[in-house]
Amino acid sequence: MDRDLDGGLMAISFVDPLSRAVERMRQTLFQPFNLVKWLVLGFSAWLAGLASGAGGGTGASNLDQQNWDHPGDIVHDLGHAWDWFLENIFLLPLGLLLISLVLVVVLLLLWISSRAKFVFLDNVVHDRAHIVEPWKRFQRLGNSLFLWRFGFVVACFVVLMGVALLVFAPAATLSFNDAVRGLSFAGMFFGVLLVLVIALVIAFVLLLLENFVIPIMYRFDLKATEAWRAFLPWLRAHPGWFFLYGLFVLLVAIPLLFVIALLVCCTCCIVALPYVGTVILLPLWVSYRALGPEFLAQFDPKFDVFAMALPQIPEIAAEPSE
> For 47-90, how does the pLDDT look when each residue is reduced to its tens digit (9 = 90+)?
999 977 543 343 444 434 444 444 444 444 555 665 665 666 76
Residue 18, amino acid: L
> What pTM, to 2 d.p., does this model score?
0.80
3-state secondary structure 69-80: HCHHHHHHHHHH
CB atoms within 10 A of CB 79: 10
Look at residue 129 and give its three-state secondary structure: coil
Residue boundaries of the structural domains of the chain: 2-53+64-316
Rounded to 10 degrees, the C-alpha dihedral 244/246/250/256 comes to 110
- Whether 306 shows a pLDDT value over 80: the answer reads yes
CA distance linking residue 298 with residue 10, whole number of Å: 8
Q: CB under 8 Å to 287, separation ≥6 — which residues?
A: 18, 21, 22, 24, 25
pLDDT, mean over the chain? 82
Whether 133 has a pLDDT exceeding 90, the answer reads yes
How confident is the model over 16-39, as pLDDT tens digits?
A: 999 999 999 999 999 899 999 999
Closest CA to 306 of 2, 11, 21: 21
